[in-house]
């Protein structure tokens, strides 16, 4: 549980009131295609990709023990004697949400009285947003474990967002000897991550200093933010700043 404590800081993103809608992404996620259209999804819902219950990390759960997974519910039916099937459960590494101070304050109030669980803030967010959660296709958050647990559900050529999640799946720790990581599709996605990492054209380049009245002033590349501020002057809120590329 202590490993996940820092994840609760994620709740603070509901404070970003200058935006009407946002997309949260974990640090082990790479976006490979433009996903701006997700900002156009209907309001008043939280959108995310359904998780998989087949990984060993779920071994403490009833779902894992009976072999039930929401990614393939037809394979193992939820036993009637166990009551209603569990609510749809999303992976909290990526989700589309609407900032709200009222929601943020309520989240803090609720988390203080909610007993800790194995998946910490992910379990908590699923519990809190279960009534407004809407699933989106796994192309927006392909957890690598899906490739060896549910390859029939993955259209790799359409994937826009890859989540390097599951034990041993971090590209910066990859040796090729990790369990399930010898697959060719996995190797391709690890290579793709490293290609992005090594692409010097994506490196931050400090703007050239500007000389004004003989005084050297460090330039700051704020063009996207300036554009957003100009938009905000004409409207009550900035909906989003469009990504300039799919990188």
**Which residues are part of the catalytic machinery?**
10
Among the listed residues 72, 66, 59, the one whose alpha carbon sits nearest the alpha carbon of residue 146: 72
| CA 56 – CA 149 distance, rounded (Å) | 11
For 171-188, give the DSSP string: GGG--S-STTTTSHHHHH
Exposure class string for 77-108: b at 16+ Cβ within 10 A, else e: ebeeeeeeebeebbbbbbbbbebeeebbeebe
Question: Scanning the structure block, which residue is given the tokens 């994620």?
Answer: 10
Q: Where do the DSSP E strands lie in the chain?
A: 22-25, 29-31, 46-50, 90-97, 133-135, 142-143, 161-163, 210-212, 215-217
CB 44 within 8 A of CB 54: no
């Amino acid at each position: 549980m202590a490993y996940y404590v820092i994840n609760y800081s994620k709740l603070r993103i509901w404070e970003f009131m200058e935006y009407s809608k946002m997309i949260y992404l974990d640090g082990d996620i790479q976006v490979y295609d433009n996903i701006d259209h997700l900002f156009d999804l209907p309001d008043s819902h939280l959108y995310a990709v359904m998780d998989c219950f087949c990984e060993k990390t779920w071994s403490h759960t009833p779902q894992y023990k009976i072999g039930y997974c929401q990614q393939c519910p037809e394979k193992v039916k939820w036993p009637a004697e166990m009551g209603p099937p569990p609510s749809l459960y999303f992976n909290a590494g990526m989700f589309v949400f609407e900032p709200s101070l009222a929601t943020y304050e309520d989240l803090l109030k609720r988390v203080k009285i909610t007993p800790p669980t194995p998946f910490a803030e992910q379990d908590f967010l699923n519990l809190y947003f279960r009534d407004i959660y809407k699933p989106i296709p796994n192309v927006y958050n392909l957890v690598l474990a899906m490739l060896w647990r549910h390859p029939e559900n993955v259209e790799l050529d359409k994937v826009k967002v890859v989540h390097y999640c599951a034990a041993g799946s971090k590209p910066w720790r990859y040796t090729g000897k990790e369990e399930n990581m010898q697959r060719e599709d996995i190797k391709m996605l690890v290579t793709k991550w490293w290609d992005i990492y090594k692409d010097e054209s994506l490196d931050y380049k400090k703007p050239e200093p500007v000389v004004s009245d003989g005084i050297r002033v460090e330039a700051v590349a704020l063009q996207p933010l300036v554009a957003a501020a100009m938009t905000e002057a004409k409207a009550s809120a900035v909906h989003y700043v469009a990504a300039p590329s799919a990188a």
